[in-house]
Amino acid sequence: MTWISPLDLKFILVNTLSGSIGVFLFLSLIVIASLAAYFRMSIKVTSSLILIFVLVSTTVIGNIYSIVFVIFAIVSILFLISQPFKG
């Protein structure tokens, strides 16, 4: 029987739910983008949400990896949200 500490967020979020850090970041970007689209958040609110997420998850991601992730996340999500839906 494996004991999981209740506040060990890295083990719970990364290892148990997603499997690796890359998959965790991809899933979290999808969740943030879907929440922003569902609630029709402005670009300022969405970028603030991404910044808060990165600050909270820096212990999971790591310092250098988080800088690249912040730049990629902000640019890609703001680009996707700012595009009008043509369906």
Tokens of 50: 């991404």
What is the model's pLDDT at position 29?
Answer: 80
Percent over 70 (pLDDT), the chain: 77
> In whole angstroms, what is the distance from residue 81 CA to residue 42 CA?
9
* Tens-digit pLDDT profile for residues 21-36: 778 877 888 888 888 8
Distance separating alpha carbons of residues 23 and 41, to the nearest angstrom: 25
Residue 14 neighbours by CB under 8 Å, 6+ apart: 20, 21, 24, 60
CA 14/CA 41 separation, integer angstroms: 27
pLDDT band at 85 (very low <50, low <70, confident <90, very high): low
- Determine if residue 40 is left, alpha or beta; phi over 0 gives left, psi from -120 to 50 gives alpha, anything else beta: left
Rounded to an integer, the average pLDDT of 45-64 is 75
Quote the pTM value. Answer: 0.61
Phi-psi region of 86 (alpha: psi -120 to 50; beta: other; left: phi over 0): beta
